[in-house]
Amino acid sequence: MQVNWKRRRGTAQYLILILVVITVNFALPRMLPGNPLVFLAGEDVGLLSYAERNELLSRYNLDRPLPVQYVHYLRDLVTLQWGDSFSKREPIWDILWGRVPWTLLLALSSIVLSSFFGAVLGVRAAMNRGRWSDIRLLLIVSFLGSFPSFWLGMVLIAVFAVQLNWFPVFGAYTVGTGYFGLQKLADVLQHLTLPLLTLTLLSIGRYFLTMRYSLIELMGEDYIILAKAKGLPERVIKYKYVMRNALLPFITVLMMDLGFVLSGATVVETVFAYPGLGRLMFEAVLARDYPLLQYSFLVVALIVIAFNYLADRMYAYLDPRVGEEG
């Protein structure tokens, strides 16, 4: 079996990837059938007069050749002139900037929680491999993974927020309270609990499976057999020989999984009206605000690429064997 997480990507590859994403962002509205004005300006093109149409065309440089448009696009991208969102009547850059922290808070804390619990359960399952307790855990985890994330969120809202009234129904903080300091922190945490729980329940399975798989793989290695033959105590083998080495792939999967977690966050944020990037994409879809949608995607993609890059570098640092593979 090819061990996927050992595949390396060079810095150049990441730069190409970023360029591809940026170019797709440019090409999509211009490639698709229909008038690109709808995608770029969000105007109801049919209602515009001839003069207004031409005015818009030249404002978005659509009357120029494609390469010229591309250069203008790149320049605006780098100088952060991403235009205004017509549905929110604010610069797109400002809107996105306000949303990124909430998404990162939700996604990163979910990664920490689910990786911890996933790893603990994975170790337990691997140690009892093949017994019913292992299979039972596998089943529960696979079944949890079959639930649609948004549905899990809706049920948690109905039970814990509405029926039991333990947590707020939506949002990331109580609006207009003037809380600050610890009070503010408690308020934010209270709002974070349910979305975080949803996202964590959802992604725990991946960490569980990764941990279980790499442990089982390691326990068949020669050096473990040697350690057993030497008569080392079970505990030493478990923690010093197996766990240490299993941690390596685990940490990388952790970082590389951000794309998966952010995908989950997109719907979870929508359910809880949590003001992150995912919710923003939903609002943009509802308002047919294509530029806002596109730039939200761009930012999500760039965040994921950045974390993958970090994971790659970190892996090379943690595992000296990796360096030579390039």
Partner 1 sequence: MTCENKKKQLPLALAGAVILSIFLIMAIFAPVLAPYDPHQRVGLPFSSPSGGHLLGTNDIGQDIFSELIYGSRLSLGLAVLTALVSTGFGALLGLVAGFLGKRVESVIMRCTDFMLVLPFLPLAILLAAMLGQGFFQLVLVISVISWAGTARIVRAQVLKVKAKGYIFNLQAIGAGPWYLLRKHIFREVLPLITYHTMLSASNAVLIEASLSFLGLGNPLLKSWGSILYYAQIRNAMLTDSWLWWVIPPGLSIAFLSAGFLLIGFYLEAYANPRVERGQIDA
- In angstroms, give the least distance from the CB of 84 to partner 1: 19
The nearer residue to partner 1, 55 or 221, going by C-beta atoms, is 221
- In angstroms, give the least distance from the CB of 321 to partner 1: 20
Burial 83-111 (b: 16+ CB within 10 A, else e): bbbbbbeeebbebbeebbebbbbbbebbb
Distance of CA 23 to the CA centre of its chain: 21
- In angstroms, give the least distance from the CB of 56 to partner 1: 19
Binding residues for partner 1, per CB under 8 A?
Answer: 1-2, 4, 7, 9, 13, 17, 20-21, 28-29, 32, 39, 129-130, 134-135, 138-139, 142-143, 146-152, 154-155, 157-158, 161-162, 169, 213, 216-217, 220, 258-260, 262-264, 266-267, 270-271, 277-278, 281-282, 284-286, 288, 290, 293-294, 296-297, 300-301, 304-305, 308
Q: Which helix (H) or strand (E) holds 114?
A: helix 92-127
| 150, 268 contact by CB (below 8 A) | yes
| 212, 118 contact by CB (below 8 A) | no
The nearer residue to partner 1, 154 or 179, going by C-beta atoms, is 154
- In angstroms, give the least distance from the CB of 118 to partner 1: 17
Q: Which two tokens stand for residue 264?
A: 């989950």
The nearer residue to partner 1, 42 or 173, going by C-beta atoms, is 42
Taken in order 176, 179, 183, 189, the sign of the CA dihedral is positive
The nearer residue to partner 1, 227 or 262, going by C-beta atoms, is 262
The CA angle 255-258-262, to the nearest 5 degrees, is 165
Closest CA to 37 of 22, 24, 23, 52: 52
The nearer residue to partner 1, 172 or 194, going by C-beta atoms, is 194
- In angstroms, give the least distance from the CB of 309 to partner 1: 9
- In angstroms, give the least distance from the CB of 113 to partner 1: 20
